[in-house]
Each structure stands twice: as structure tokens, then as C-alpha cells.
Structure 1
């Protein structure tokens, strides 16, 4: 065998070896891809994403879709990672940026789900506040072995305890602190717009004087109807903006879309400010797949969104829920919304 043949043979063997290793050797990266979209005005498997109890939902058309990012399960191979770096519809990121090493994958999923539930709460607060419903002390849940079990329910707005008005949580705490534990009190409340009263035998407080009703409360706008949001297998806070708009469209006076297909993303805080999110370019691809006519982009993501490949639809820059509503009004009127 000549030296040339020997070198060529060795080279071929090494190429084959590296090719095999490249397809099997895992690397500490994951691939993010465009995830499913969810029309907040629509259903998932026959169940509405936003359901309303206590009144009829508005009869609306159009689409207000929240967009998501999917994440590959398990480590990528070297070959797949390299391919992903050259694919506009894949984002290859360090695994630790998605699954922090100091907590389990299950803990990460749980934290993301809790963030989504918090965004639901903020969306309701913003939407109902914008519609003019008054802020009250609203029951969010009951503690284990709560003395209010069977008397109060999630969504009840507390009006008074033993005739003393409770317009905010601080006043409620003061009233309960003045009542010895084990006392029977009368609690006045509003449920789905209807007033009611119940008697509750309080539990003694453990870390202060007075009584406990065994409830978790939050100050938020209280409407004569309940809003319930159901989207399984979605985590993180980035759905907040689109959930807010969905509620406004379903119970407000204005048709927000005029039948158009609108997609978007962004966190929402209780003051109506829209915050940036991750994966904006991938979410724009997801919006393309459903034929979006407008995409709502958090102001903090505008530079990244503008640098992505042209999606074929306008990008509306939104820093607040008011910006989003103006963009929808512009689209319906045939005007170009303020962009990135």
C-alpha cells in the first residue's frame, strides 16, 4: 500500500468516525422551535380557552392568538446542533438557559406553569379594571381545613365582616384582628353580581391576635361574572397580553379584531405594561403558519423582531395594553399601526 493510499484510507475512516460520532454525540444544547398557537377567542378540544360564568360571551369573530415556543426534549447531537444554527426556524441555546442546573426539569416546568397562572391573574385584573369594574377584596382560594369551607367561594368579593365594610385587604386584616378566634361572624359578599351573607366560625390566628377566615384574597376589579382561563401545557408569563385582549373582546363593548387574524406575545403587569419575552423570531414564524395579518411585539423585543426575516405582516410595537388596542383599531380602520 502506497503512502498516499494509506493517508486517504485513514482520512476516510476518520471522516466516517466523526460522522457517526456527530450524529450520536450529545451536546449541552437544546433546540427551540415555533410552538403551537392558541386563539384566546376560541376553543381547545371543544373547551373555550376563556370561559365566562354569569353572562354570555360576546359573539366575536377573528383571532387573537398567543404564540409559544417549543423545546426539544433530550440533548441535541452535534450534527443537529450545527444544522439548527443555520436554520431560521430553529434556535439552538445552552441547555442550562432552559433547564437551570440547580433545579429539576419537573421543578422548571412547575415554575413556568406558576408564571403562566400569574399572567392569567394579571390579565383579568387589567381587563376588568379597564372595563371600569371596582377594585374589591376578592377570594382567590381557601386554605386546607378552612372555616369558610362551604360558605365562601373563589371569586367572591368581600363587602363586610359583622357589618364593618372591608374595602381593602388591610381593613379586612384590622377587622379580623379585633375579633377573638372561635367567634361566629357574619360575612357579606357579592357573588356573580348577587349579594349574599354567610356565618363563619373563625379560627384563631397563630402569629397575631384575632381571627382567621382561612381564605386567600387579592385586591382586584370585581365583575358580576367570573372569568376562567384554561390552556394546558403552556408555561411562562408571555401570554399575558393576548389573554388580556381576549377577555376585553369577549366581555367588552368593542369588537377588537373586525374578523382579522391577529397574533402576538408579551407579559402584562397589573398596570397594563407589556414586557419583553424570549423567542420572538420563532413566535413570528408560528404567526405566519396561521396566516396572521398583524403581530403585536413588546417594545423591548422590537429590535430583535425587526432583524428577523420578513414575516409578511406588519409588526406593531406595544409598550402598554393601550398601545395594543390602538394597533387593533388602526388595523380595523385600514391604517398602518405604529411599528418597530
Structure 2
């Protein structure tokens, strides 16, 4: 689908007629739609009202300045200056070309009013401050720089452009594409909001600081010693598993580590600690794994270890985010947060 881009060529009228016609001619030869002041000379507010819609339809705005500021509107600005401000307001890319040294211009090529010369110099300064200017000396120099600037802008920042009616898509297709674009934008917003939102869990599901009583049995010298329950919050259980889940240890190893942790907390520095052992009931450990999976913090996968298949745990994206939520250093906090510690 071939696009043609519309260029609005603006300048003061009489003193730049030759340069403007040459620029329009050269741009038109390259397949662009060049709109100039020959179609409408902006010298009063009524014609400005006609020019504004033309600028609205423009992809790129060219401003050529030499030695005149232009005819003044009632507000004291020239109509050329007002065109430029309107193009900037509409977000249309502006390319300004200033005559290099106005002090070298002949008599009659510049305004003869001190007030107009002052306005011209301020306008040139305004354009230069926007870093959208280039300087020219001859008509050939001007034409070459305009073409180069527009071609570069089309490559870097293609405008909307115009296409032939027989090449345009059906209106219904446009509507479907627009609806799809809006849906994509909504989904992107939802993803962004989801990424920025704190991790949460179903209100009716035990999680976070809620306690879970883990049923255990201890052994002394190889004999069953005591049946007991050990309370841990779900945050404490999850944080205990972190270092082991990061390296995807087998589930039976993780179960053994938790059992040893519980026996250490239960019996402390008892003289019989070396002979004490504890075991989680299998259904308890299965419940813990099921709960953490349901909360979306881990996933259990089967891996072939070379000596058979074993169940391993690994963190989910939600689990990683929740670790940060529990342990991240907050702004204006002098110390790192203390992760939840298992209760004795």
C-alpha cells in the first residue's frame, strides 16, 4: 500500500515566492503532496480559519524564514508565526529553515520597521531554541536541505499519509483493527496493574500469617516417642523452603529437612537430641505441598534423576514476587526486614 505524505510549506509571502515555488515543485516531483500559500494566502483571520484544517491534515510542516516577519494579526503576531504555533500545538513535526545571515540581505529584502525586525529576531530565537532549525543561503541550498530533512523524518517518524481509495481497507476492517487495538491496550493495562499489585490470595484460603498445625511423630532410640503438633504460619513454611526450592531439591529431601527443623525447635538442646528424630506424616507433607501449589507459590514437577523419577519443587513467578514482598528493603527503612521465623 503506497502512502503519500502531505507537506505544508509556510513562509512570508512576497519575499519568498520564488523559493517557496521551487520547494513545492521539488517535493511534488518526489511523490509528496506539497501544499503552499499559493492556494491560500494567510493575511486575515478568516483565511487562518481555512488554513487550520489544512494543517490538521498535514504530516510535516515546513517553515521558511528570510528577512521579513510578515503581516500582523490583531494580537501582534504575524500570521506565519501563528501558523507555526498551531502546527506545534497539534503535534505536527516542524522543520524550520532560517536564512543564515540576515545582515547580508539587500535593502527591500528586510522589514523597515524596528518593531518588525525585533519581532523577527525573537521569532528566529524561538525557533532556534526548539532545535528544529537549519540554515540556508541560496535557493538550491534550501531545496536540498528541505528534501533531505523531510526524507529523514519520513524514515524516522512516518506520518499518517494518504492512500488511494481503491487501496484502502474496508471500513469494517478498520473498525475490527481499532477494536482489537483497544482490547490489547486494556490487556496491557491489566498486566501492568497485575505486575505492580501486591501478591494476594483467596480470602477463604488459609495463607500468610494463618497458622497450620503440622502433625508429627518423634522417635527416641529407634522407638516411637511422642505424637505432637507443631504450629507454623504459611509464610514461615514458605520462607523455610526458599533456599531448597531455588535449587529444586527432591521432595523427600525437603521433607527430611523440615522434619529435622521441627525436632530441633521441639526439643532444643535436650541431651537426647542426637538420638531424637521426627517424621511428618505423609498426608501432612502432601497437604503442605498442595496448599503452596494452590496459592500459586510453587509447582511440583517430576524429574528423572538417573536412578528413577522423583518429585521436585520449584518457585513460580508469583512465588518469586512474594519473596520480594516479604523480604524487600522498603524506602526510609534503615534495616532489612526480618523474614517470618518459625515459632518455637
TM bucket normalised to smaller: under 0.3
Bigger strand fraction: 1
For CA contacts below 8 A with separation 6 or more, give which structure has more relative contact order.
1
Bigger helix fraction: 2
State the TM-score, normalizing by the size of structure 1.
0.24
